[in-house]
Amino acid sequence: MSEEINTSQLVSAATSEQMIEINKMNKWYGDFHVLKDINLTVHKGERFVICGPSGSGKSTLIRCINALEEHQEGDIIVDGIKLGKNLKNLDHIRTEVGMVFQNFNLFPHLTILENLTLGPIWVRKMAKADAVETAMMYLERVKISEQANKYPGQLSGGQQQRVAIARSLCMSPKIMLFDEPTSALDPEMIKEVLDVMVELADTGMTMIVVTHEMGFAKTIADEVIFMDAGDIVERNKPEAFFGNPEHERTQQFLNQIL
C-alpha cells in the first residue's frame, strides 16, 4: 500500500521521528469553534494524556488525528502524511493509527477472533492462519484468549474493551489513540483495562490517551495536556502538572476531580 502514497505529500525524512505534527489546526461544528489554533508534536514512543472538562474538544482532537473528523484549517501530519481529501492516504493512515473508543465498537455479528482477524485479513492481506496466530497472541496478552469464540455481547464491558485494544494491536499500528477507554466501565473493570494499557505503554508504543484516570496519567504519561473550551491551556510533565498546576483553570479542574 505504501507505494501508492502520493510522494509529494511526504514530508522530509528528517521529521520521521515525529509521529504526529499538528500546526495551527482549527475546527468548527457549524458555527461552533471546537478547536482553536492547536499546535502539538508527538514523537515516536511518547505518551500523552489529554484531560479537561467535557465539551472541551479533547475527543474531537484525537478523532481529527485519524480523520474520523475533518478539520477546516491548519495541518495535521501523521506518520509523514498530510491529512486531506485523498482517500488512499486516509486508509493508509487509519491502518497505521489504532483507536479505542469509549463504547468499544466491536462488531457484534462476529466472534471475538473474527473481530480481531478482520482487519489483518482484508486490509493487510494476511493469510488466515497467520492472522489467527497473531490474534491469539494479542488475546493472550490482554488475558482473554479463552473467550476467542464467543460473541462480544457475551463478554463484560472490561473484557470487551480489552478485546477492542487487542483488535487495534492486531493491525500493528504505529500510534494508538484512546478515547476515554474506561468511562463506560464499572469501577472494578477499569483496573483490568488500565493494566493492559500500562503494559502496552511499557512496550514503547506511541500513545495519546483521553482520560480522567489521573492515577493512570501519573504512571504512564510523558506529558499531560489540559484542554478547555477548544484551547490547549496547559501542558506539563505529570509531576509538575499534578503537583503544581500553573493555570487557574487547571487548578479548578484538578480540585474538582481529585
Q: How far is the CB of 171 from another protein (least distance, A)?
A: 6
Interface with another protein (CB under 8 A): 66, 68, 87, 91, 94-95, 97-99, 101, 103-110, 118-119, 122-124, 151, 153-154, 164, 167-168, 170-171
Cβ atoms of residues 102 and 156 within 8 Å: no
- Which DSSP symbol is given to 71? -
- Contacts with 235 (C-beta within 8 Å, 6 or more apart), sequence order: 223, 224, 225, 226, 241
* Cβ at position 78, least distance to another protein in Å: 13
Report the C-alpha gap between 113 and 108 in whole angstroms: 12
Exposure on the CB side of residue 118, measured as CA atoms within 13 A? 15
Residue nearer to another protein on the CB measure, 175 or 233: 175
By C-beta, is 36 or 141 nearer to another protein? 141
Q: How far apart are CA 167 and CA 172, in angstroms?
A: 9
Residue among 109, 181, 204 at smallest CA distance from 152: 109
Nearer CB in complex with another protein: 129/258: 129
Looking at the Cβ atoms of 70 and 248, the one nearer to another protein is 70
The DSSP annotation for 168-196 comes to HHHT--SEEEEESTTTTS-HHHHHHHHHH
18-29/32-43 β-pairing: antiparallel
Q: Which is nearer to another protein, 178 or 241 (CB)?
A: 178
CB of 51 to another protein, least distance (A): 22
Q: How far is the CB of 245 from another protein (least distance, A)?
A: 33
Q: Smallest gap, in angstroms, from Cβ of residue 111 to another protein? A: 9
Residue nearer to another protein on the CB measure, 91 or 222:
91
User: Least distance from C-beta 238 to another protein, angstroms?
Assistant: 27
